[in-house]
């Protein structure tokens, strides 16, 4: 299975594992949160019952070191045998309850713990019960720690389980992708020869018809030749795409090539064709060579296909501008024309295989631009398209230059295009 498909399968497995792990982890956290809330609620209720009992009966059943009873008769405060903690009793609260004859329940955080205080009027006196919740707080901390450890262990186990489940779930997808790629490559390879034979035979018949002066079916023969040519191009694109994706990834990168010279020679090769179509071809390149790591034939095809696409859709009297420049750590070349253009809504989908936008007419995107995007992406670059109907199109390609951080540790993947080059016979 080729590298791109392996990456897709790995991402699918990872996502399934993470989703399963997060789901189980979320359930564990929910269960822990509910248990903690139930514990806190139960402790609070128990403390309030202890305080109510203490104010009513003058004693608390809790540990002596954690509970105190104070009595206030309007003049003095009496304490029990157990020494109170610093800051107690709460004299202001005793005075307020003595004046209003009400009951006040407060919580005080001091001395590194939390105190629950209930102050209540009882006959001629005011009783204040204080409960130190240090043991309850300790129980809560222990519960949180236990649930945290259980959640972490459960999350790791869930992720591992999810990865194993994902591996089994994605295995049919991986096999289907491999079979699809193999089928495309095999079918394309088998179709090349008969299509080439049909195309050659149609050319011979058309030539004989022209030599014999039989122009009756000549138009039909020309259309047949054009149709078989386009069919051959589609099959070649499918085969090249399969070979491009299946290239090995364990080869050393080629030395950098000079993009300035490559673009210059490619544009020069299209000069006669542009003149024949009465299209002005303008080249603007810097004096620097702009070295980029990559496969020369593959990048030459990118430039050539974009130029051919611009020439095919630029009418006589139009203009095509090819601009190359250095931008930060990248080389950027732009091919802009004044031709038919396309709807900007198709800009993102224009690189999809066989995509045809609304109002595209006879404009065929086919596999060509999809293949160019694969080549540019394999060189760790980007390609973008901009256009307006009737006002031309603009294609921008950015490639990392040799020695930039974008190419460090990645250049071996660019060497993968060598198999595509050899398979194409270039």
Structure tokens at 78: 């009496």
DSSP helix, strand, coil percent of the chain (3-state; round to 5)? 55, 20, 25
Q: Which candidate, 152, 202, 120, 166, places its Cα nearest to that of 16?
A: 166
Nearest-angstrom CA–CA distance, 169 and 258:
46
Kindly tell me if the per-residue pLDDT of 275 is higher than 70: yes
**Residues 64 and 126 both lie in one domain:** yes
What CATH number is attached to the domain comprising 196?
Answer: 1.10.287.130
Residue 282 · residue 322 · CB < 8 Å? yes
**Residues 336 and 379 both lie in one domain:** yes
Q: Which candidate, 424, 336, 348, places its Cα nearest to that of 384?
A: 348
Mean per-residue pLDDT of the chain: 78
What CATH number is attached to the domain comprising 265?
Answer: 3.30.565.10
Q: Which residues contact 49 (CB under 8 A, 6 or more apart)?
A: none
User: 137-143, long-range: CB within 8 Å, 24+ apart, which pairs?
Assistant: 137/113, 139/39, 139/43, 140/36, 140/39, 140/40, 140/43, 143/35, 143/36, 143/39
pLDDT, residue 206, reads 82
Please state, in angstroms and as integers, the Cα–Cα distance from residue 320 to each residue in 263, 307, 337, 341, 393, following that order.
14, 8, 4, 12, 10
Average of per-residue pLDDT across 276-283: 92
pLDDT, residue 249, reads 33
Q: Which stretches does DSSP call E strand in 268-329?
A: 280-284, 291-292, 319-327
pLDDT, residue 369, reads 79
pLDDT, residue 351, reads 76
Tell which of 224, 244, 264 closes a domain.
Answer: 244
Please state, in angstroms and as integers, the Cα–Cα distance from residue 393 to each residue in 292, 340, 372, following that order.
25, 8, 16
Domain contains 156: no
Radius of gyration of the chain (CA): 40
**Residues 260 and 345 both lie in one domain:** yes
Domain contains 214: yes
**Residues 289 and 399 both lie in one domain:** yes
Domain contains 159: no
Domain contains 408: yes
Tell which of 219, 244, 269 closes a domain.
Answer: 244
Average of per-residue pLDDT across 119-126: 90
Helix (H) or strand (E) holding 129: strand 125-132
Q: Which phi and psi (to 5°) does residue 382 adopt?
A: -135, 155
Q: Could you give the maximum distance between any two Cα atoms of the chain, in Å?
A: 135
Q: Which candidate, 172, 155, 174, 153, places its Cα nearest to that of 20?
A: 155
pLDDT, residue 361, reads 43
pLDDT, residue 177, reads 65
Q: Which candidate, 333, 207, 201, places its Cα nearest to that of 267?
A: 333
pLDDT, residue 161, reads 75
pLDDT, residue 116, reads 93
Strand partners, 35: none
Structure tokens at 232: 């051959």
Q: Which of the four pLDDT bands, split at 50, 70 and 90, describes residue 404?
A: low
Q: Is 118 in a helix, a strand, or coil?
A: strand
* Lowest mean per-residue pLDDT among 230-239, 358-367, 375-384, 416-425: 416-425
pLDDT, residue 411, reads 41
Domain contains 153: no
**Residues 195 and 339 both lie in one domain:** no
- The count of domains in the chain is 3
Kindly tell me if the per-residue pLDDT of 289 is higher than 50: yes
Q: pTM of this prediction?
A: 0.47
Average of per-residue pLDDT across 199-214: 80
**Residues 118 and 170 both lie in one domain:** no
**Residues 285 and 398 both lie in one domain:** yes
Domain contains 14: yes
Tell which of 244, 268, 301 closes a domain.
Answer: 244
Give the residue carrying structure tokens 């949180």.
144
**Residues 275 and 403 both lie in one domain:** yes
pLDDT, residue 23, reads 80
Nearest-angstrom CA–CA distance, 89 and 107:
13
**pLDDT per position as a tens digit, 316-329:** 999 999 999 998 88
**Residues 209 and 270 both lie in one domain:** no
Helix (H) or strand (E) holding 110: strand 103-110
**Residues 62 and 103 both lie in one domain:** yes
Structural domain harbouring 349: 251-424
**pLDDT per position as a tens digit, 333-343:** 999 999 888 88
pLDDT, residue 173, reads 65
**Residues 410 and 279 both lie in one domain:** yes
Strand partners, 394: 336, 386
Kindly tell me if the per-residue pLDDT of 271 is higher than 50: yes
Q: Identify the burial level of 308 via C-beta atoms within 10 angstroms of its C-beta, where 0-12 means exposed, 13-18 middle and 19 or more buried.
A: middle
pLDDT, residue 424, reads 36
Residue 259 · residue 324 · CB < 8 Å? yes
pLDDT, residue 279, reads 92
Please state, in angstroms and as integers, the Cα–Cα distance from residue 26 to each residue in 15, 29, 157, 409, 420, following that order.
16, 5, 13, 38, 47
Please state, in angstroms and as integers, the Cα–Cα distance from residue 130 to each residue in 73, 110, 225, 423, following that order.
18, 13, 101, 87
Domain contains 158: no
Domain contains 128: yes
The listed range with the strongest mean pLDDT (16-25, 34-43, 197-206) is: 34-43
Q: Do you know the residue count of the chain?
A: 426
Q: Which of the four pLDDT bands, split at 50, 70 and 90, describes residue 403?
A: low
Please state, in angstroms and as integers, the Cα–Cα distance from residue 32 to each residue in 19, 21, 25, 136, following that order.
20, 16, 10, 17
**Residues 208 and 188 both lie in one domain:** yes
């Amino acid at each position: 299975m080729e590298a791109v498909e392996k990456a897709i399968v790995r991402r699918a497995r990872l996502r399934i594992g993470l989703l399963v792990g997060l789901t189980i982890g979320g359930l564990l956290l929910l269960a822990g949160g509910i248990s903690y809330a139930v514990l806190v609620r139960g402790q609070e209720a128990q403390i309030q019952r202890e305080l109510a009992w203490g104010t009513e009966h003058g004693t608390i059943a809790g540990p002596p070191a954690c509970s105190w009873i104070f009595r206030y008769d309007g003049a003095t405060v009496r304490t029990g045998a157990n020494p109170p903690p610093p800051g107690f009793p709460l004299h202001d609260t005793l005075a307020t309850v003595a004046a209003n004859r009400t009951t006040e329940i407060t919580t005080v955080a001091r001395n590194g713990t939390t105190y629950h205080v209930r102050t209540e009027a009882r006959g001629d006196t005011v009783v204040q019960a204080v409960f130190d919740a240090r043991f309850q707080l300790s129980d809560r901390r222990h519960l949180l720690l236990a649930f945290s450890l259980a959640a972490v262990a459960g999350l790791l186990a869930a992720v591992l389980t999810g990865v194993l489940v994902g591996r089994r779930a994605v295995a049919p997808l991986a096999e289907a992708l491999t079979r699809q790629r193999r089928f495309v490559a095999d079918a394309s390879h088998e179709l090349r020869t008969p299509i080439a034979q049909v195309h050659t035979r149609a050319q011979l018949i058309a030539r004989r018809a022209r030599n014999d002066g039989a122009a009756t079916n000549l138009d039909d023969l020309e259309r047949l030749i054009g149709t078989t040519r386009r069919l051959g191009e589609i099959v070649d694109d499918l085969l090249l795409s399969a070979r491009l994706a299946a290239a090995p990834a364990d080869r050393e990168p080629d030395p950098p090539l000079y993009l300035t010279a490559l673009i210059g020679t490619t544009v020069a090769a299209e000069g006669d064709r542009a003149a024949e179509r009465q299209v002005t071809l303008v080249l603007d390149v810097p004096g620097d060579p702009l070295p980029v790591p990559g496969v020369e034939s593959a990048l030459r095809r990118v430039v050539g296909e974009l130029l051919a696409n611009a020439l095919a859709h630029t009418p006589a009297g139009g203009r095509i501008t090819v601009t190359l420049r250095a931008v930060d750590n990248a080389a950027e070349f732009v091919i802009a024309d004044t031709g038919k253009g396309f709807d900007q809504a198709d800009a993102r989908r224009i690189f999809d295989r066989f995509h045809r936008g609304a109002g595209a007419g006879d404009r065929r995107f086919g596999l060509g631009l999809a293949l160019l995007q694969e080549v540019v992406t394999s060189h760790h670059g980007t390609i973008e398209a901009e256009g307006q109907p009737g006002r031309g199109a603009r294609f921008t390609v950015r490639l990392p230059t040799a020695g930039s951080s974008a190419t460090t540790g990645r250049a071996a993947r660019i060497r993968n295009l060598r198999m595509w080059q050899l398979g194409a016979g270039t």
